[in-house]
Structure 1
Amino acid sequence: MSENGNKVAIVTGASRGIGAAIAERLAADGFTVVINYAGSVGPAEALAARIEKAGGRAITAQADVSDPAAVARMFDAAKAAFGRIDVLVNNAGIMQLSPIAEAGDELFDRQVAINLKGVFNGLREAARRLRSGGRIISFSSSVVGLLQPGYAVYAATKAGVEAMTHVLSKELRGRNITVNAVAPGPTATELFLQNPQEVIDRLTKLTPLERLGQPQDIAATVAFLAGPDGGWINGQVLRANGGII
């Protein structure tokens, strides 16, 4: 059995894209995976079936991460099903772009609710419930460093995630729980590839490696932080972006 055998990982926003790649990678590494989704159950159930077919263990858990009670229920369900929670991956998030002068209240409020409060809700439950040796991994973004026009609200929510990551790593002193964030650059998800081709080409050329990140690249970064080799990394933001900044 791998060193991760019997360990349980909750992955938020895990039904598709980077979240699905993370769930599959952690399952392959021996974790039992709780696949969180907000809306349609179909993709989450299909992912769970793929993981089970490959020899892993997975369940699905519906929860809107912006709702504190729903997040608490998700943790309750994981604990009831498996008796323990070892890893939280705060992956769920949305991105809506607009110059500040044109941004509506709904755009601001929704991104703060999901990207910032949603991560806070997960951090709070994980801080209360994770076992010794646990890992908390949240998602920032390399746009925090790029600071491009149109990204102000999204980047602000992710900067808040980085601040909470640094602080919580210190608040959990003595618990043997690491708290880190991953900040991807442009990644070839289904959503990203809906951009105009000129945008895709421009962002591809920005990185010295001259390619887009793949969901598996980000999943490998998360697997490192969640696994035995990541135990001495704490309070850090790992910029998995091919050198874009």
Structure 2
Amino acid sequence: MANHSLHGKTVLITGGAKNLGRLVARDLSAHGAGRIVIHYHNPADAEAAQDTVREIEHNGAQGFSVQADLTRPGAVASLFTQAKTLAGAPDIAINTVGKVLKKPILETTDEEYEAMFAVNTRVAFQFIREAGRHLNDNGKLLTLVTSLLGAYTPFYATYAGSKASVEHFTRAASKEFGARGISVNAIGPGPMDTPFFYGQEAPEAVAYHKIAAALSAFSPSGLTEIEDIAPYIRFIVSEGWWMTGQTILVNGGYTTK
């Protein structure tokens, strides 16, 4: 039977320099992962990426960082190639990158639409494809989506819409990669207490989101905390391997399907 523990495993995480990606890198290294490659988008985040690498290494794992704009042609394939050169073929691939836009459909420009789908859909598809090419047998593949996939709401058409495609990418990939023992899932957090959330929301919307989940009163911020999500990710990419092809909404009762 395949070994599904994290011990000694090689991990690739996009968006690993900050916020949830950083916490996941720290968490997996603390639970036995052997080598972790983190990707970051903005060259200005190089120091944050190195801080994450130092935290990974403090936990006893080897850490590496790679900067790349994944929307550029060939960039996702190059990321996997670089990761393999640095740390060996990955056992676990986690894509946390995303772009959010809150705007009415009638006010959304073609340029904004293209930018949203470039990050949330095309990069996600390419990441899944390259993971299928490069992951070791019995690997784990996870993509971050959004709990808005279970919402009935205006203004997030391009955000939720561009993430919705990933739900089917996940199902298809789980069927196609399953013969190699690779599990493929997506996780959709609720609104998280990170700068990614606050940049799009007016104060009154923030106030609503902080009371919208069934468990909001038990959260320090009223929102999903990144510390709430990291344990689910750890489980899905280790002992939770038997679950595959699923999109799991983890949000304290914010939305459901």
Q: Does 1:131 align with 2:136?
A: yes
Question: Contact conserved, 2:17 with 2:52, CA < 8 A, in 1?
Answer: yes
Q: Does 1:226 align with 2:237?
A: yes
- Could you tell which deviates more after superposition, 56-65 or 194-203? 194-203
**What displacement does 1:232 show?**
0.8
Distance between the aligned counterparts of 2:79 and 2:250, measured in 1?
Answer: 28
Question: Contact conserved, 2:36 with 2:87, CA < 8 A, in 1?
Answer: no
Q: Which residue of 2 aligns with 1:168?
A: 173
Q: Which residue of 1 aligns with 2:219?
A: none
CA RMSD of aligned residues (A): 1.6
**What displacement does 1:124 show?**
0.8
Report 1:166-245 matches (<5 A): 166-194=171-199, 195-210=201-216, 211-227=222-238, 229-245=239-255
Q: Which residue of 2 aligns with 1:159?
A: 164
Q: Which runs of 5+ in 1 are unaligned?
A: none
SS of match in other structure, 2:12: strand
Q: Which runs of 5+ in 2 are unaligned?
A: 217-221
Q: Does 1:37 align with 2:48?
A: no
SS of match in other structure, 1:174: helix
Distance between the aligned counterparts of 1:242 and 1:57, measured in 2?
Answer: 34
**What displacement does 1:176 show?**
0.1
Q: Which residue of 1 aligns with 2:118?
A: 113
Distance between the aligned counterparts of 2:41 and 2:205, measured in 1?
Answer: 29
Q: Does 1:12 align with 2:11?
A: no
Question: TM-score, with normalisation over the residues of structure 1?
Answer: 0.94
Distance between the aligned counterparts of 1:52 and 1:190, measured in 2?
Answer: 26
Distance between the aligned counterparts of 1:58 and 1:36, measured in 2?
Answer: 11
Of 47, 56, 62, the match for 2:61: 56
**What displacement does 1:234 show?**
0.4
Question: Contact conserved, 2:37 with 2:87, CA < 8 A, in 1?
Answer: no
Identity, in percent, stands at: 34
Counterpart residue type for residue 206 of structure 2: I
Distance between the aligned counterparts of 1:175 and 1:86, measured in 2?
Answer: 12
Of 24, 27, 35, the match for 1:25: 27
- Could you tell which deviates more after superposition, 178-187 or 46-55? 46-55
